């Protein structure tokens, strides 16, 4: 049973009709008193409730009722309904334990998707899952491209296998080079949307002036240089998945435009006032701390709650060192196949050496190091000396990176960055490539460790 709580009889009738047609059993009441009576008699599967029940618009009644519901039936998901101008109330509700929020007038498809996702995830919570093995992972689509068998990685893949069939929005966090895009692709590949498009957008590379054209498309003549019609990324992703990479780099003015389409599942093409519906699943990724950005008001709190229904944090490579030998062999084999070279092996000492490196650029840095060594050495058996040459490390720095005595991980990373800058004569593009990270990621680390450089090329 789905409990509907709203003082508007028209809203109750509309929602009851919609849910019955979708195969659910709705029960509609007009206010908090009636709702509490129903909940005390029978626990609903889901609660769909308004935020205001009198002429006031403060939302205090809704927040109070939500808190009562979370006490009486803490495991039941609650979806809030509010006007677009009162989304701040919905954010308060999310902080108080609500599952999701929708705005009035609602989009039927978006509402039904939210209800379906809430019910599916709640059922999964009640199941007991066996530990996820590498053998089980290899049976699923795209997991064979994600190399490793550490407990940390298996926990991530286990979660992906459970949430992929749902429509839940997913936020993937982690340092640069940890494989966030691979996880996003795996979510899409194991979902019912896999036959439709997987559209990738690097929001860090989309300027504020081009955001609407890039995301929503434009009509010919909509602005200067708009010589032809352009299809936006959301339209391309219809019925599929849109991957919003580097979402933490999105300008505030663009965040509200993104929130609107994520909330209503509708958008307008530039130069065309006719709203268009879109059915997409949203997977986002960032290497920034969005919670801190919300506190600093550089990232919208309502958008934050909209994109992180499920959060997956990818651990850095230094926290799953047992995967390094598997990754090294995988990258070496791929490089040998691509360039038609003899298969390359590693001595045990070489693999131990790799496991002791800090890898501030994570998997991407390891990949670059292995590929460079395979190509430049030309050997079929790689030893420590071959890898040392390509790390561009002085003997004392190699000793430092392989000992860890007295140094924190941040200090190791800072030393690695300083050496990369020194070895590239402060050429930031070359230093970033040597570290296996993007130039933008290098800038953030320079700021983090207060490292200054005169040459920015």
In order of their start, the domains of the chain are 2-125 (3.40.50.2300), 134-315 (3.40.50.300), 318-448 (1.10.8.60)
The confidence score (pLDDT) of residue 396 equals: 42
CA distances from 66 to 27, 29, 122, 389, 453 (A): 17, 15, 17, 61, 53
- Give the tokens for residue 365: 């840095």
Confidence at residue 85, expressed as pLDDT on a 0 to 100 scale: 56
pLDDT of the residue at 455: 44
Residue 374 contacts residue 335 (beta carbons within 8 Å): yes
Q: What is the pLDDT of residue 447?
A: 82
Determine the angle formed by the axes of helices 151-163 and 108-125, rounding to 10 degrees.
130
Selection from 401, 215, 257 nearest residue 318 by Cα: 401
Q: What is the CA radius of gyration of the chain?
A: 25
What confidence score (pLDDT) does residue 127 get?
Answer: 74
Question: 81 has which bridge partners?
Answer: 50, 102
Contacts for 79 with CB less than 8 Å, ≥ 6 apart: 46, 47, 48, 49, 98, 99, 100, 101, 102, 111, 114, 115, 118
Write down the pLDDT at residue 394. 38
Count other Cβ atoms within 10 Å, centred on residue 124.
14
pLDDT of 117: 92
Whose CA is closest to 181, among 284, 323, 319, 290? 284
SS3 438: coil
User: CB–CB of 362/321 below 8 Å?
Assistant: no
For the CA atoms of 341, 346, 347, 348, the dihedral, rounded to the nearest 10 degrees, stands at -170
Here the tokens at position 355 are 């496991």
Task: Of 309, 300, 226, 222, give the one whose Cα is nearest residue 260.
Answer: 300
The residue with tokens 């927040």 is 63
Helices (H) and strands (E) in the chain, counts: 21, 16
Under 8 Å between Cβ of 95 and 304: no
What confidence score (pLDDT) does residue 454 get? 60
Residue 358 near residue 412 (C-beta atoms within 8 A): yes
pLDDT mean values, one per 10 residues, the chain (457 residues): 94 95 95 92 94 73 89 93 72 88 86 92 78 80 88 93 92 94 95 95 86 89 78 94 95 90 87 88 95 93 91 94 95 89 92 92 92 88 90 48 53 79 80 76 83 62
Q: Collect all residues with Cβ–Cβ distance below 8 Å to 248 and sequence separation of at least 6.
A: 286, 287, 288, 290, 293, 299
Reported pTM: 0.79
Integer angstrom CA distances of residue 277 from 53, 107, 417: 30, 9, 47
């Amino acid at each position: 049973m789905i409990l509907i709580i709203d003082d508007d009889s028209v809203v109750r009738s509309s929602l009851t009709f919609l849910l019955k047609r979708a195969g659910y059993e709705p029960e509609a009441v007009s206010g908090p008193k009636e709702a509490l009576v129903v909940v005390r008699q029978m626990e609903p599967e889901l609660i769909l409730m308004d935020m205001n029940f009198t002429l006031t618009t403060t939302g205090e009644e809704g927040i109070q009722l939500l808190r009562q519901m979370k006490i009486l039936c803490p495991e039941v998901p609650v979806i809030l309904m509010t006007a677009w101008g009162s989304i701040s109330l919905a954010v308060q509700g999310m902080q108080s334990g609500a599952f999701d929020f929708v705005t009035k007038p609602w989009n039927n498809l978006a509402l039904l998707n939210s209800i379906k996702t809430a019910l599916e995830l709640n059922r999964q919570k009640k199941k007991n899952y066996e530990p996820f093995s590498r053998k089980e992972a290899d049976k699923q689509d795209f997991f064979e491209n994600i190399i490793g068998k550490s407990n940390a990685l298996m926990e991530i893949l286990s979660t992906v296998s459970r949430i992929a069939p749902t429509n839940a929005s997913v936020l993937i966090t982690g340092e640069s080079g940890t494989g966030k895009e691979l996880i996003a692709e795996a979510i899409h590949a194991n979902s019912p949307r896999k036959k439709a498009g997987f559209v990738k957008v690097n929001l860090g590379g989309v300027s504020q002036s081009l955001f609407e054209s890039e995301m929503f498309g434009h009509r010919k003549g909509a602005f200067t240089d708009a010589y032809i019609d352009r299809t936006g990324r959301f339209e391309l992703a219809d019925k599929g998945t849109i991957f919003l990479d580097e979402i933490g780099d999105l300008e505030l003015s663009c965040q509200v435009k993104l929130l609107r389409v994520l909330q209503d599942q509708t958008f307008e093409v530039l130069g065309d006032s006719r709203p268009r519906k879109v059915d997409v699943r949203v997977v986002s990724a960032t290497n920034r701390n969005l919670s801190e950005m919300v506190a600093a008001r550089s990232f919208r709190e309502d958008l934050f709650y909209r994109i992180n229904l499920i959060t997956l944090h990818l651990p850095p490579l230094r926290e799953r060192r047992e995967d390094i030998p598997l990754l090294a062999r995988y990258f070496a084999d791929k490089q040998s196949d691509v360039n038609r070279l003899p298969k390359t092996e590693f001595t045990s000492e070489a693999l131990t050496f790799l496991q002791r490196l800090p890898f501030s650029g994570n998997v991407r840095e390891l990949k670059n190091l292995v590929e460079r060594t395979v190509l430049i050495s030309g050997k079929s058996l790689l030893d420590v000396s071959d890898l040392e040459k390509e790390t561009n490390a002085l003997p004392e720095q190699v000793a430092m990176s392989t000992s860890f005595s007295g140094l924190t991980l941040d200090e190791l990373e800072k030393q690695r960055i300083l050496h990369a800058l020194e070895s590239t004569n402060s050429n930031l593009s070359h230093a970033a490539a040597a570290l296996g990270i993007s130039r933008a990621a290098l800038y953030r680390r320079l700021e983090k460790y207060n490292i200054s450089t005169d040459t920015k090329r």
